[in-house]
Structure 1
């Protein structure tokens, strides 16, 4: 793993800085895999290394989502710089890998030749285990009749505003106590405070629970305790929390734009409108129809197996056989 020199002091022991990579004795038979998800000017220095290079693309949100968001406008500029950097990188990499067909299509647009798709790894063993934070689970179940969960950083493309509206719509339409559990990092105080203001206007501020820097066990427990994972996100390159929810057994209701529908496949409930009353209605339907809920959970579990670590590892091994001799390592 590599990172900028400025962050090496806070990184783990397996992390190399870009300057360390530059000083290594590379040969033209070596292979460098570079994961990319945001602008880093130091990466430009790696392009001249005498080594075969593969870029693994995890998507960069288009900058327009951050325009008009006050103090977050700088993030839009950096996202646009990132996407421009990808275009400059295209000719320097032997191959590009997208972790979804959506991302692979973007690589093609950036100028990468014949990119391929290999999904991300996610911790399927952990999310399929029975370990939970039992006290958190009981607290969630005792506080509300209905619980909604979403996991993702607080940025405009995730559309937390529409999740707040969905909560308000559900309470208004069906008159039940309900809570919205939001796990993720706050990226901009001004934007976050605007979301709180929206919750005040909708009369649901006290029904929203925020989990910053939550542990994996806490996130898993939120999935297990929730009646549904609801996503109104307008831009995703893959959306790993969908698979995590699938694996835990939490029904997923999601706006199917960008890569979300691709990740969900035939499982869960997808919709093509950002009208909050739609997921609110589906949420109540799942509450009333246990057979439907059980069928959805079963279909989601089947879909999640397509992305289990063993399957993804096999795809990587097959791909890498075209670049390096891995047979010795497999049989040692």
Structure 2
């Protein structure tokens, strides 16, 4: 019987890293005891995730077979805990956003990101296996001195997602929407480039699709940036651009079902799960070719050059709104891409990697 525990910096509802840890935990519990610990735990996660302070104190002999750290940001308490534990350590690397995006809005948070890269690099001497969701993430780890890195793509349970019922309140709210719906899903954060997306939407409604709506779904975890982009939208008089904030899973799938095009302007992604969610609902995608986005998209969408202007994005969205044949081609490619990722994930399982370390 194996005892494998996971450690996160923070755990919250709807958070991609928390969700990934919960999926891994479900499989680990088939093998033995497995808990998730975090330095910061959202009240909604109490009962599913334990405080890091509850982890058994270190002894001369290890108290678990393996500790799995989900790395995405710096945190000195978590780093000290991991560095000093006697157990073997595995890292699941979700990538660390370049701190420069955050300096104008939250210098303390930017410092945590900068520290995160130092901490991940320092942990390399302790890590027995590292897992990355993309080759982009794996290359980043290798640049920090990691040698044993396995790429295991994330997967979306498409059947489960399609079975989620609509949210009645969201259905009612969208019933009055009378034009094309452009959707983005992701937290309101500087590297997601909501400002660039709003500029593209402004071009879209000014020159091409005057009745289009833009829904930006996701929590705002950085208030100064949220205020900045909302002010920008107001200055552009974008009366059909909406920030939804955090929403339920039922509301999320309702937006996916109603949307006509999914657009992301993000400039930094370690994988980008919403791309797979959009494919699940046959939603055509427009994305910018930054970081892991081209790798995850795999040709199942319109990929813009990083130097393309917002006007190019507007033209791509308009083309998808009006071309049913192209929409169908991209929907077919999306289903094929999901099948490929599912097959890759079935051949390379995170839990199998972790168990192999223990057995060796």
Q: TM-score with structure 1 length normalisation?
A: 0.88
CA distance in 2, matches of 1:80, 1:264: 28
SS at match of 1:111: coil
Report which of the two has the higher share of helix. 1
Matched, 1:108 2:142: yes
My pick for the range that moved more, 296-305 or 15-24, is 15-24
- Counting only pairs closer than 5 Å after superposition, residues 58-207 of structure 1 correspond to structure 2 as 58-69=94-105, 72-129=106-163, 131-133=165-167, 136-137=170-171, 139-140=173-174, 142-204=176-238, 206-207=239-240
> Are the structure 2 counterparts of residues 258 and 170 from structure 1 closer, same or farther at C-alpha, using a change threshold of 3 Å?
same
Match of 2:85 in 1: 49
Aligned counterparts of 2:229 and 2:290: Cα–Cα separation in 1:
22
Equivalent residue, structure 1, for 2:71: 36
Of 140-149 and 92-101, the range deviating more from structure 2: 140-149
**Could you tell me whether the CA contact under 8 Å between 2:261 and 2:321 is conserved in 1?**
no
**Mean alpha-carbon deviation: is it higher for 189-198 or for 316-325?**
316-325
**Distance change >3 Å, CA 249–CA 130, structure 1 → 2:** farther
Residue 28 of structure 1 and its aligned partner are, at CA, apart by 8.9
Residues 1:250 and 1:9: Cα distance change in structure 2 (over 3 Å): closer
Q: Provide the rounded CA distance (Å) in 2 between the counterparts of 1:214 and 1:135.
A: 11
Question: Among residues 256, 260, 277, which one is paired with 1:244 in the alignment?
Answer: 277
Count of aligned positions: 321
Partner of 1:217: 250
Distance 1:16 1:210 in 2: 32
When residues 325 and 14 of structure 1 are mapped into structure 2, their CA distance, relative to the original with a 3 A threshold, is farther
Q: Deviations along 1:199-236, whole A, 9 cap, x unmatched?
A: 122221x2112211201111111111111110111111
Equivalent position SS for 1:119: coil
2:275–2:297 CA contact under 8 A, matched in 1 = yes
Contact 2:93–2:137 (Cα < 8 Å) also in 1: yes
C-alpha distance in 1 between matches for 2:45 and 2:168: 32
Structure 1: tracts of 5 or more residues without a match = 327-332
**Root mean square deviation of aligned Cα:** 2.4
Alpha-carbon separation, structure 2, partners of 1:106 and 1:121: 21
CA distance in 2, matches of 1:155, 1:130: 27
Residue 104 of structure 1 aligns to a residue whose secondary structure is helix
- Aligned partners of 2:269, 2:358: CA distance in 1, in Å? 32
The residue that corresponds to 1:322 in the other structure is 356
Q: Is 1:297 the equivalent of 2:334? A: no
Residue equivalent to 1:3: 38
**Partners of 1:138 and 1:286 in 2: CA distance:** 25
- In 2, Cα distance between equivalents of 1:209 and 1:198: 12
On the 8 A contact 2:58/2:85 being kept in 1, the answer is no
Shift of 1:139: 3.8
Residue pair 1:22, 1:49 contacting (<8 A) in 2 also:
no
Inter-partner Cα distance in structure 1 for 2:171 and 2:318: 21
1:270-281 matches, cutoff 5 A: 270-272=303-305, 273-281=307-315
1: distance between equivalents of 2:72 and 2:231? Answer: 31
Task: Report Cα offsets for 1:27-65 as digits up to 9, x if no partner.
Answer: 498122221122222222232323222100111101011
